[in-house]
Chain A
Amino acid sequence: MPKVTIDGKEVEVDANLNLIQAAELAGVEIPHYCYHAGLSVVGNCRMCLVEIEKAPKLQIACNTRVAEGMVVHTKSNKARAAQKAVLEFLLINHPIDCPVCDQAGECKLQDYYMDYDQQPSRFPLGKKNHKGKAIEIGSGVMLDQERCILCARCTRFFDEVTKTSELAIFGRGDHNRIDINPGQPVNNKYAGNIVDICPVGALTEKEFRFRMRVWYLHRTASVCGGCERGCAIDIHHHRGRIYRFKPRFNPGVNSYWMCDEGRHSFPAIQGETRLTSPLVQSKDQLVTESWGEGIRRAASMIADYKRQYGPNSIAAVVDAQSTNEEAFALKQLMKSAIGSDRIATLSWSPPGASGDDALLIRANKNPNARGLAALALGTGGLDGLAAAVASGEVKMLIVMRADLVRALGEEEFVRRFGALDYMLVLSPDANETCQMANQVWPIAAYPEIDGSFTNFKGRVQRINAAFPPPGAAVAAIETIARLGHALDGADRPSTADAVFASMAAAEPAFKGLSLATLGEHGADLAGN
């Protein structure tokens, strides 16, 4: 591996790296706009000009591979002058409309201006070139051609990643502009990524525009719950509300990208239908009650059924939207506190949902289908469970996250499960199944809890609680621990770390893993 010296720091790096990547390893940031590690190198912004000893002119770091003995200066007078000059050039025709620009606060023009330029404009305001503003280019993306610095990240993304090529550069010289071909809007399922990779405010998301200044947003690392791919994401939130999902780099899962379906899946999570209190059915209506009442009521129902019909009269359904910890905790509860081995799973995707594609999207819209399989859940299946209900063997059903009514249709649900005596539903929102339940417990949605999902390839990735769940809703594992305690007086782990630890001890697939050491890229299931 070649040794290079960057700003006096010697590093030994892979021979395939360019100077921007090598500098990063040396702890040096080389400013850049057009370079993106997920795209081809075009070298058009000229921001990464650096001085290389023995080279006659400044070289662009993005297009320069490391070589043995290379000595690079990124902050020499010549390099600084070039960086400053490029920024001045980029800004002369830029509208400098930061006060009304959504990118403000995460804009590389702003950041680098502060870091490398800081000189007043020498270009007269009235001489700026004007181009198109607030153009809807399709797929929820807005284009401002005046803010654009023509780095061609967006065109390269559509050329190289989605291979749909809806965007191109039109015109010439300083009249160059990004645009769609007339009448052919952007139409692909990954368009949101061009907003992410746009280093300036030229591409913004229609849904996000003017809704929140980015400096108020907190970021919490998580995983998209939209499908079994489990794209690594950051949840951007403020005061308990999610404003956007942004993909987070994970080479083994989603690279730098995510799909638009997943990106726009968060409004459903924080809709008007969220449950904020435990409910109990009274005179054909669901009425609120306290957690204490709810836990006592459920525990006594379980005890009754156990006594009258035996432990296997109680069954559970776990949805593949549940985390590994939730599924494991319920499995343990059924086994240790109830003594039932009847546990079925639901891994349902809405009809008409998108199928597998060549990039990221998976037909299975559940983030943890593989996790349930790894926990050896769901071997009996819903059909076996329905038969047991119909024959009167199963009287009580505990449902976690599964919207059985929606998945089966009301008629089919009644046909299969109508014979049930008692149904306890744990759900973040008031779905159709809740309407049929005797008891409903409000639980946290996945952005509100710590835990993990296992993607379809067996990669276990950590999710983190961004903010607390609404109202009286709690993390499902907490409720399960309380119910267990009410049943047998035993203490059960109620934090994600502790549940994961017992899962790793009990389940061969999770052997050797711990939630704390999953890291930002996650870890593979044992033997995967």
Chain B
Amino acid sequence: MERILTRWLDIPDLRKLEVYAANGGYQALRKALFEMKPEEIINEIKNSNLRGRGGAAFPTGVKWSFIPKESKKPVYLCCNADESEPGTFANRYEIEFDPHCILEGIAIACRAVGAHTAYTYLRGEFTVQKRILDAAIAEAYANNYLGKNILGSGFDLDVFTHRGAGAYICGEETGLLESLEGRRAYPRNRPPFPAIQGAFGCPTVVNNIETLSNVPHIINRGAAWYKSIGPEKSPGPKIFCLSGHVNKPGIYELPMGFPLKDLIYDVGGGILDGKALKGVIPGGSSFPIFTAQEAVKVNMDFESVRAAGSLMGTGGVMVMHEDTCMVDALKTIAHFYHHESCGQCTPCREGCGWIEKLLIELEAGRGKMEDLKVLVDVATNMEGNTVCVLADSLSMPVKSFVPKYREEFEAHIKLGRCPFKDGSTSQAA
């Protein structure tokens, strides 16, 4: 397959503006500025069925169309580069190797929704990436792809980069806006939605990096071309992040709908040491796990993964082989969400910690059978009752791990220790 989002692999130095421009760069922006009206851009994106790559898979064109026309307030675009979902590491490479594609996507999106200011919110650890993106922004300004009267079109756009301070919750779109405004990243209650009241109380679009990188290609080659890649309802190229017990972990650009089995065994080179597959989380740690039997039947697109009982999220595929202690794996996930829960609302603040504490005990062999019920109860009580979906992001793994690997949880309780560890020494929590 032709590489689209990862064409930097084929084109050396694509991050430099002259190379990017020589390879068709900023042609889509010219088209968007001179040949298309904002509504036409939105319609093209709508028709392409591009869906958000940040995890929620919301149709991008529809999101743009929510921005009020003729808004009396300024409109903002926020590019979400707070890539923090465990098992997800595509955005960082996109920034490093193809920053102009992101900037071009930002400019086209701003033109479409009438924004003249865009913020790129980078995760705190992205120091190198911020430097690269800032350099690309400077190049773009110098060549009038950004700034006042872009390419003589009369359209103005300023792009700013902002680095977070290392909290996962800043990737939640309203937490991001709070953080951007200088406050604790406490996600906001919706309504109002960001399209009506986002950054600084103004209409705002928040899009993921990978979503925006798709935009120039769609404008250049058209919605019909885009829809021809993968399944029609969730089409396009997708960068999958393959991690865990595979021989060739890494990022792979594949068409949507690519079979998970082929991703693991073919593209990923199979399971480490030839061991058996035990489970796969298909979309970053927030989503239900697939057992080996389920995993090999799934195609990787939003609809198919959902139909199979999980969600594709960011496309962070985490593979676990037969030697993985699933209690330990879930404990690790719980530790992450416990650590990253912002603590604003009750069920998540208290529930995440409770779940981790239960799992520490269970993993160490100090659990009781009734703890398994409590574990699922707590997860159920958190789900859907919070300001944002962080609680659900722990609830979903818990509610899939426990029933799917129940005998393993029970074995810990019955043995009084982790069966995957040497039983001769007692396990510390």
Interface of A toward B, CB cutoff 8 Å:
41-47, 49, 57-58, 60, 63, 81-82, 85-86, 88-90, 92-93, 122-123, 127, 129, 149-150, 169, 171-176
Contacts and interface: CB of A to CB of B under 8 A. Distances in A.
Contacts of B338: 173-174
B352 A169 contact: no
B403 to A, nearest CB: 20
Contacts of A150: 343-344, 346, 349
B354 A46 contact: no
A251 B345 CA distance: 30
Contact of B352 (A47, A63, A174): A174
Given A90-B350, A93-B350, A122-B374, A172 B387 contact: no
Contacts of B345: 43-46
A176 B345 CA distance: 11
Interface stretch (B14-22, B115-123, B378-386): B378-386
Given A43-B345, A44-B345, 14 more contacts: A49-B385, A57-B384, A57-B385, A60-B189, A82-B381, A85-B347, A88-B381, A89-B346, A89-B354, A90-B346, A123-B354, A173-B341, A174-B349, A175-B343
B148 interface: no
B167 interface: yes
B59 interface: no
B341 A89 contact: no
Nearest to B374: A122
B342 A173 contact: yes
Nearest to A86: B346
A173 B343 contact: yes
Contacts of B349: 89, 150, 173-174, 176
Most B C-beta atoms less than 10 A away, residue of A60, A88, A90: A88
Contacts, number: 86
Most B C-beta atoms less than 10 A away, residue of A44, A49, A60, A63: A44
A165 to B, nearest CB: 12
Given A41-B189, A92-B354, A173-B353, A86 B347 contact: yes
A132 B47 CA distance: 56
B385 A92 contact: no
A494 to B, nearest CB: 56
Contacts of B167: 172
B339 interface: yes
Interface in B324-366: 338-347, 349-354, 357
B341 to A, nearest CB: 4
Given A60-B189, A150-B343, A174 B350 contact: yes
17 contacts: A42-B344, A44-B186, A44-B344, A44-B346, A45-B345, A47-B346, A82-B381, A85-B385, A89-B347, A150-B343, A172-B342, A173-B340, A173-B341, A173-B342, A173-B353, A174-B343, A174-B350
- The 4 tightest CB contacts between A and B, nearest first, are A85-B381, A176-B343, A89-B350, A173-B341
B30 interface: no
Contacts of A92: 350, 354
Interface of B: 167, 184, 186, 189, 338-347, 349-354, 357, 374, 381, 384-387
Contacts of B341: 172-174
Given A172-B341, A174-B341, A45 B346 contact: yes
B385 A82 contact: yes
Nearest to B381: A85
A89 B381 contact: yes
A45 B338 CA distance: 18
Contacts of A122: 374
A92 B354 CA distance: 8
A122 B339 CA distance: 22
A149 B346 contact: yes
B166 to A, nearest CB: 11
B384 A58 contact: yes
Most B C-beta atoms less than 10 A away, residue of A42, A46, A82: A46
A149 B384 CA distance: 20
Contacts of A149: 346
Nearest to B390: A173
Contacts of B384: 57-58
Nearest to A171: B343
A43 B385 CA distance: 11
